[in-house]
Structure 1
Amino acid sequence: MFLKRLFSEPAGLFKPVAFSNGLNFIYGIKDLDNPKASLNSIGKSTFLDLIDFTLLASYNKNHNQRLFKAKEIMTGYDIVLEFSIDGVDYLIKRNVVEPNYIEFGESNEETKLFPIKTLKKKLCILIFSRENYDGSFVSEKWFRSLVSFYIKIQKFKKAKFLDPIKFIQELTEPELNVYHFYLLGLDNQIPFRIWEKRVHQKNISSTIKEVSEYVDQKYGLPDLKQAQLETNRLRLEIKKLSNAIDKFELGEQYEDAEKEANKLTEKIKSNLYQNYVDHDKLKSYRESFALPSKLNTRRIKSMYSEISEDLGLKIKETLAEAIAFRKKLSQSRQEFLEAEIVKIQEHIKTRDKIISDLEKERAKIFYFLSAQEAITDLTEAFYNLSEKKNQLSDLDSNTKLLLDLQKELNEINGELENLKNQSIDYVNRFSERIMQFAENFDNVYQEIYINQNEESQFSLFGGTRKKGIFELDISLPDMFGKGKNQGRTLVYDLSILIENIVNTSNFPNFLVHDGIFDGVDKAHFISVCKFVQNLANSGTKIQYITTINEEGTLDEKFGEKDFVNSDFIEKNSILTLSPKDKLFRQNF
């Protein structure tokens, strides 16, 4: 894949840029009338963003704030990238209004509109498929990850070239290994399986953590062992509670026993009421015996004798007869009442015996209804049983889930151990191929770091304790300094680029490095320029695209100043920007 042009349709958004073979500088120069004006924010990185945008980079605020802020300026324009693959020219057109629908096609044909997902798959096959490759298939999801290796642009608040292996900071080491092996032309089936297992392992571990936290928060059980113990305890409690209920046969008899107790209570009340009525009768009968039985006849006779002596005698005789009759009647009534009182007392005594028996029977039922094992009544018994069963069901299902997940996790860990052994055999099997790339890597290092007695090192290890099991080690002497550490990325990326230029006809022949020479010894910058230009002059189609600012002169202490000077940089600049001549000719 060789870049040809980047421009806008309609023209006018920015100056059209033609890419060339060899060095392609995005050059920031000072304004002669205002040399102190900053060369930042003039559009160098934004121009590289446009290249990335046409190659389907995500267009949102989180991914690229810089380009997203230019949305209003870019509205109404298509950004067009023209490139060739194996001698065939292609066009890709994308705009910020509908960034998920992109025009694509061969330059000599009418372009077609594609959804971004479809075009990613199409471009992935077109640009990154390998012939006679024994490794994993190329997924449409790989496209942006693979392109990101070739286009490294400084983002806001992102680290700069800290690790050549971790070229996408958000991805894990196992996933990155899949892409590195693919770019190296190495069989990546084992790294792919390791990545799959690690993803599965992470998901299961996360689920175990979530379920464990749920069990801990709800039941206060911090681990699987405690959960199992609690499950066993609940089973025992449920069994004891069920046995207690079965023993008293409460389940079916609860309603009948309650009804029987109510009937007995009604009978007791009825007998108590009858006794109350009879006691009231006894009181009335006994009070009737207290009526006065004597009458003063002589006083009555005296009262009537004042009227007539004969009348007084007659009334006295009549009263005497009445009194005698009353006495006879009272005696008869008393004898009757006494018989009635005896009968009532017998009835009361009988009812007292009935009440006592009923109360004993009711007491048995109440005792029957009072459960052992601290069961206060049937409703509570069945409620407790139901609650414990629900608790057991919930806890048991989560415990079984934890056990199943732990079992699955153990199986994955076992498979990873097996893959660890396979990784060791893999390194031995491909040792010659790995050594060939290591030699290529060292050659690039020696070209850039001239007159160095130390050797660089590219190594691939298997069976390590790292998440990826494989470890790609890229070492340079004194690499812990900022410049030398960035040099690791510089050497590794150029080595991969050259490897694929030689061995493929469709992989990118370009490499975009934004600001990689910041803090790097200028002598090494000159070496990179000479190295790339020599490759281009020898017939290799290679494009090294980088940003650079005008920073004084390159004198003899930086090496071959005649080869790399201001004129040389300007000659190899495909785009020159300044504080007066910004990319979009305005601030944003």
Structure 2
Amino acid sequence: MKLSKLYSNKPDLFETIIFSSGLNVIQAEIRFPENKKKDTHNLGKSTLGKLLDFCFLSQKKSEFFLFKHEQLFKQFVFFLELVLEDGSYLTIRRSVTDATRISIKKHTDSHQDFTQLAHWDHENVPFDKAKEILDSILNFYLIKPWQYRKILGYLLRSQDDYRDVFQLRKFASKHKDWKPFLAHILGFNSDLIVKHYELEAKLKDAQDRETIVKQELGGSIEDISRIDGLLLLKQQDVNERQRLLDKFDFHSVDQAKTKKLIDELDLQIATLNKNRYSLDFNRKKIELSLQKQQILFDPDEAESLYKEAGILFPEQLKKDFNQLSIKKELTNINQRLLQLGEERTQTLSFLGETDIFDKYKQISNDLITLKADIAFLEKQKEFIHKLQALKTEIRLLDKQSQKVRIDMEKDLDTQNKQETSLFSETRLYFNRIVEDVISRKALLSVNINQKDHLDFNADILDETGRSTSADDGHTYKKLLCVAFDLAIIRSHLKDNFPRFVYHDGIFESLDGRKKINLLNVIRQYSNLGIQQIITVIDSDIPLDSDIFFDKNEIALILHDEGIQGRLFKLPSW
């Protein structure tokens, strides 16, 4: 597919452009000396690429010049005529006022004027449907499953698109939107790359959900077996209390509390009182001996003394004294006795309760508390099950991602090693273009970075074959972009693939000899059947070149001698 003709319904305001099948130069001439020092001249040479993109059905955006100044352009209707692979023609009609309604017609003759055409093959078709129809007619099967517009970014290079060889301005942030496609047209297995991005997105989503569940658990992640055990015990308590409530019978409860009172509380209180008596007796003897101002106390002598006094547990007493802990232990015993006394009082109160409804109320409150505990444990169990499922999902996704990574590496290795692969062919063309222009070798390479994503690189090499920083400059970066675009098209000449490319300001900043070298490359590629539309300003033409472009290579001349020299014969906007 190539460009054949661009025209409008207002030829007096927009001059018709006929494109040849080879080199097409849009040349801007600065004829007034005072304008030569200006950076921009508003003649429209860069606007042409935007207009072509509009006719190829770019998305309507308010900042686009036709819509930003809609009052100025609202009457315009544009027509782009294309020549197809089979030699037939296709015309696309798009207006500014109704930019989302498109008309399309196929025809056999070139250079038609359809401004007054009454019947179109597809008339006023909705925007998205029109893109589907156009994609079907163009039939760039090699780039499937992507539509034709995906490749246009590399075929319509504006000044902003020379900043990076691979990542165009419209792909400023989303690598997944362009890296799989670029890998595809270079001959790599794009399915693997698409799959990798899908798995990466799923993995991140699962990890985010895992974080949320952990937050809901409140940082306390119990073992599922422990929770099941607690649930079993608490459910047993619930069943017992429910049985009592159902029977309205509290005899067994009275029995249980009586047994606890006798077997546990009284026994503990008696033991603690015995210990407290023993400790208090010892404390008083020690205080008495100290009051008599005896010699400095020796634990060994005290041990003998206590034996004579018949005090029990002398070894423990010696240790307690050495650690000065009798007073502390007495304090602990007193506190525990107070707790046990309070519990004994509450238990006796329950046993002494004669009002059956108060007992019913107390058991009901216990049941409510137990059920609340069970509900909490069940919720925690649910979260833990979710967490376990997410961990399993994350492990599976990570395993799948690693497998895709391995397959990507194998595919990369295969395409790099095979001299006849599409990638090898493209990188040879790429190097030859750069070498023909600046006498330096250039390397096109693809690798997998630490994040398991593809990295595309275009480097200018020194004499030893090492990468240099020469490509960092805007001039050589632009050359690498041009070389890449031409190499891609050439490597697909045998396929139904676009065979045109538009480069804005292609000679800017190059020195005279390199401009001539680049022009020779452009002509060489034109002879191969690649249509090229380039824009230049006359100051970029080498001064020592008598004839830089042939007359038949000039598609349009723009100049600064009034409105008639502009792309649009309108006042500057």
Whether 1:245 aligns to 2:235 is no
**Cα distance, 1:357 vs. partner?**
12
**Which amino acid is 1:564 matched to?**
F
**Cα distance, 1:511 vs. partner?**
0.8
**Cα distance, 1:409 vs. partner?**
3.1
**Which amino acid is 1:127 matched to?**
L
User: Which residue of 2 is the match for residue 447 of structure 1?
Assistant: 436
Tell me: CA distance 1:476–1:176, structure 2 relative to 1, closer, same or farther (3 Å). farther
Alignment partner of 1:513: what SS?
strand
**Which amino acid is 1:456 matched to?**
A
Equivalent residues of 1:173, 1:467 under 8 A apart: no
Q: Structure 1: which 5+ residue stretches go unaligned?
A: 261-355
Tell me: CA distance 1:410–1:368, structure 2 relative to 1, closer, same or farther (3 Å). farther
1:458 to 422, 433, 444: 444
**Cα distance, 1:58 vs. partner?**
1.2
User: Which residue of 1 is the match for residue 503 of structure 2?
Assistant: 513
2: CA distance between counterparts of 1:11 and 1:230?
A: 80
Tell me: CA distance 1:583–1:574, structure 2 relative to 1, closer, same or farther (3 Å). closer
**Cα distance, 1:473 vs. partner?**
5.0
User: Which residue of 1 is the match for residue 546 of structure 2?
Assistant: 562
Tell me: CA distance 1:434–1:206, structure 2 relative to 1, closer, same or farther (3 Å). closer
Question: What are the residue-to-residue correspondences of 1:527-566 with 2, within 5 Å?
Answer: 527-536=517-526, 539-551=527-539, 554-556=542-544, 561-564=545-548
Whether 1:392 aligns to 2:381 is yes
1: CA distance between counterparts of 2:210 and 2:349?
A: 59
Tell me: CA distance 1:552–1:468, structure 2 relative to 1, closer, same or farther (3 Å). closer
1: CA distance between counterparts of 2:55 and 2:178?
A: 23
Tell me: CA distance 1:181–1:419, structure 2 relative to 1, closer, same or farther (3 Å). closer
Question: What are the residue-to-residue correspondences of 1:6-17 with 2, within 5 Å?
Answer: 6-17=6-17
**Cα distance, 1:194 vs. partner?**
1.6
**Cα distance, 1:441 vs. partner?**
2.5
2: CA distance between counterparts of 1:2 and 1:358?
A: 99
Equivalent residues of 2:180, 2:194 under 8 A apart: no
2: CA distance between counterparts of 1:571 and 1:9?
A: 26
1:111 to 105, 111, 121: 121
**Which amino acid is 1:52 matched to?**
D
Q: Deviations over 1:176-198 (max 9, x none)?
A: 454335434x3x4x2x2222322
User: Which residue of 2 is the match for residue 275 of structure 1?
Assistant: none
**Cα distance, 1:422 vs. partner?**
4.3
1: CA distance between counterparts of 2:432 and 2:461?
A: 13
1: CA distance between counterparts of 2:553 and 2:533?
A: 14
2: CA distance between counterparts of 1:398 and 1:357?
A: 47
2: CA distance between counterparts of 1:258 and 1:512?
A: 95
User: Which residue of 1 is the match for residue 477 of structure 2?
Assistant: 485
**Cα distance, 1:104 vs. partner?**
1.0
User: Which residue of 2 is the match for residue 497 of structure 1?
Assistant: 489
Equivalent residues of 1:42, 1:579 under 8 A apart: no
User: Which residue of 1 is the match for residue 149 of structure 2?
Assistant: 144
Q: Structure 2: which 5+ residue stretches go unaligned?
A: 109-118, 252-347, 463-469
2: CA distance between counterparts of 1:517 and 1:238?
A: 79
Equivalent residues of 1:174, 1:194 under 8 A apart: no
Identity of aligned residues (%): 17
Tell me: CA distance 1:499–1:212, structure 2 relative to 1, closer, same or farther (3 Å). same
**Which amino acid is 1:437 matched to?**
T
Q: Deviations over 1:179-221 (max 9, x none)?
A: 335434x3x4x2x222232222222123124313423443344
**Cα distance, 1:482 vs. partner?**
2.6
**Cα distance, 1:399 vs. partner?**
4.1
User: Which residue of 2 is the match for residue 183 of structure 1?
Assistant: 185
Alignment partner of 1:6: what SS?
strand
2: CA distance between counterparts of 1:521 and 1:387?
A: 78
1: CA distance between counterparts of 2:149 and 2:571?
A: 30
**Cα distance, 1:51 vs. partner?**
0.5
Whether 1:28 aligns to 2:19 is no
Tell me: CA distance 1:105–1:466, structure 2 relative to 1, closer, same or farther (3 Å). farther
User: Which residue of 2 is the match for residue 92 of structure 1?
Assistant: 92
**Cα distance, 1:232 vs. partner?**
5.7
How many residue pairs align between the two structures? 454
Tell me: CA distance 1:519–1:38, structure 2 relative to 1, closer, same or farther (3 Å). closer
Equivalent residues of 1:9, 1:79 under 8 A apart: yes
**Which amino acid is 2:231 matched to?**
I
User: Which residue of 1 is the match for residue 259 of structure 2?
Assistant: none
Equivalent residues of 1:31, 1:580 under 8 A apart: no
Equivalent residues of 1:43, 1:577 under 8 A apart: no
RMSD: 3.8
User: Which residue of 2 is the match for residue 70 of structure 1?
Assistant: 69
User: Which residue of 2 is the match for residue 587 of structure 1?
Assistant: 572
Equivalent residues of 1:174, 1:467 under 8 A apart: no
User: Which residue of 1 is the match for residue 55 of structure 2?
Assistant: 54
Question: What are the residue-to-residue correspondences of 1:343-354 with 2, within 5 Å?
Answer: none
**Which amino acid is 2:181 matched to?**
Y
Equivalent residues of 1:26, 1:546 under 8 A apart: yes
Question: What are the residue-to-residue correspondences of 1:319-358 with 2, within 5 Å?
Answer: none
1: CA distance between counterparts of 2:519 and 2:90?
A: 29
2: CA distance between counterparts of 1:383 and 1:111?
A: 72
User: Which residue of 1 is the match for residue 79 of structure 2?
Assistant: 80
User: Which residue of 1 is the match for residue 135 of structure 2?
Assistant: 124
**Which amino acid is 1:71 matched to?**
E
Alignment partner of 2:148: what SS?
helix
**Which amino acid is 2:556 matched to?**
I
Tell me: CA distance 1:421–1:38, structure 2 relative to 1, closer, same or farther (3 Å). closer
Equivalent residues of 1:27, 1:549 under 8 A apart: yes
**Cα distance, 1:460 vs. partner?**
5.2
Equivalent residues of 2:206, 2:394 under 8 A apart: yes
For the pair shown, which has the larger CA radius of gyration, 1 or 2?
1
Whether 1:424 aligns to 2:419 is no
**Which amino acid is 2:103 matched to?**
E
1: CA distance between counterparts of 2:380 and 2:551?
A: 76
Q: Deviations over 1:536-582 (max 9, x none)?
A: 4xx543332233334376334xxxx12427xx699625251538434
Q: Deviations over 1:218-260 (max 9, x none)?
A: 3344xxxx75x465664454344324324xx123433654999
Tell me: CA distance 1:171–1:18, structure 2 relative to 1, closer, same or farther (3 Å). farther
2: CA distance between counterparts of 1:43 and 1:456?
A: 33
2: CA distance between counterparts of 1:357 and 1:145?
A: 85
**Cα distance, 1:125 vs. partner?**
4.2
1: CA distance between counterparts of 2:410 and 2:82?
A: 44
Alignment partner of 1:142: what SS?
coil
**Cα distance, 1:448 vs. partner?**
1.9
2: CA distance between counterparts of 1:98 and 1:469?
A: 41
Alignment partner of 1:39: what SS?
coil
User: Which residue of 2 is the match for residue 572 of structure 1?
Assistant: 554
**Cα distance, 1:25 vs. partner?**
3.0
Alignment partner of 1:102: what SS?
strand
**Cα distance, 1:149 vs. partner?**
1.6
Tell me: CA distance 1:517–1:252, structure 2 relative to 1, closer, same or farther (3 Å). farther
**Cα distance, 1:442 vs. partner?**
2.8
User: Which residue of 2 is the match for residue 378 of structure 1?
Assistant: 367
1:254 to 228, 245, 249: 245
Per the normalisation by structure 2, the TM-score is 0.68
Per the normalisation by structure 1, the TM-score is 0.66
2: CA distance between counterparts of 1:425 and 1:73?
A: 55
**Cα distance, 1:91 vs. partner?**
0.4
1: CA distance between counterparts of 2:393 and 2:24?
A: 57
